Amino acid sequence: MANVKCAKCGNLISGVSAGQTIKCPKCGHSMKLSLSSNASANAAASASKKKSAGAPLATWKLVSGILSMVLFLLVSFQSCAAGLGNAITNNGESSGSGGIILSILMLSGGIVSVATRKSERNGGNIALIILFLLASLIGFGSAGSFVDLNIWAAWCLINAILAIIAMAKNK
């Protein structure tokens, strides 16, 4: 049993079998179904089920992408303040510069995350892993007295791990 669309009006007729002659209840159009039309109806039904499944973790990619883009502003301002503090105290730290680089990578990762959230291919996930993993390494490595940089680096690491999970689910 399958669902077939009426060739004349597009009405969906359910519960039909191959080789059966049916009449559309809406417009009265009569049609005989062949085996190939039933097979194409089944293929269309399975294709629509596949499309409705969507890409793995698409909602998380949307949410984390938007959050990463918004957090970019906060991390940028904090990094500028930390860099100014490093310059004034002349302590030789580069936590402000590391924070700026982390924030730019976080913004890039957020844009890629939102843009590729529905993609069923792994290119976007690979880009997310590289961007967020690089950002977390830079953040953890250059935190120094800018302790909040560890928080932002952890956020980037979580996003990288979730991109790895999405890539694994895509296979």
Q: How many helices (H) and strands (E) does the chain have?
A: 5, 4
The pLDDT value given to residue 47: 47
Residue closest to 110 by CA, chosen among 128, 97, 125, 126: 128
Rounded to two decimals, the pTM is 0.67
- Spatial neighbors of 44 by CB under 8 A, at least 6 apart, are none
SS3 4: strand
Each residue's pLDDT expressed in tens, for the chain with a length of 171 residues: 677 788 888 888 877 777 778 888 888 888 877 655 444 445 445 544 444 455 668 889 999 999 999 999 999 999 999 889 888 988 888 888 899 999 999 999 999 999 998 888 889 899 999 999 999 999 999 988 888 999 999 999 999 999 999 888 877
pLDDT for 128: 94
Q: How far apart are CA 104 and CA 128, in angstroms?
A: 13
Residue 91, pLDDT score:
85
At residue 49, the pLDDT reads 46
Which structure tokens are listed for 72?
């970019």
10 Å Cβ neighbour count for 81? Answer: 13
